[in-house]
Amino acid sequence: MVLCPNKKEMNNMQISNLESIPGTKIIKHLGMVQGNTVRAKHVGRDILAGLKNIVGGELHAYTELLTESRQQSTDRMIAQATAMGANAVLNVRFSTSSVSAGASEIYVYGTAVVVQVE
């Protein structure tokens, strides 16, 4: 398990879904990093979502749940990259899967690297 670095270190991490960051040069490849979380639906949120299904519209409670899950997974990936000495994570991708009835996993992964400005 990787301990979470301080927020300053996490805020300095460059994250990109590209294979490189324009204006930088990759000077060290550190390997794959990942983060995930598994979340279950909340009964109260399910009741409100069921009511919203009747009238239509965005399910704000689920949007919030997924946003929190993505952020937590990303924070865990950044913590792992920081522990490896990276200052960037490239080619970042998200995935989701159903773990059981009512529970889903959010998984994020990328390549930890050290980059320098050209």
pTM for the full model?
0.80
93 DSSP assignment: E
Q: Are 17 and 108 in contact (CB under 8 A)?
A: no
The full set of domains in the chain, from first to last, is 9-117 (3.30.110.70)
What's the burial of 33, exposed, middle or buried (CB within 10 Å: 0-12/13-18/19+)?
Answer: buried
Indicate the pLDDT class of residue 3, thresholds 50, 70 and 90: very low
Q: Residues 16-70: pLDDT tens digits?
A: 999 999 999 999 999 999 999 998 866 555 555 555 556 667 767 778 888 999 9
Distance CA 59, CA 100 (A): 21
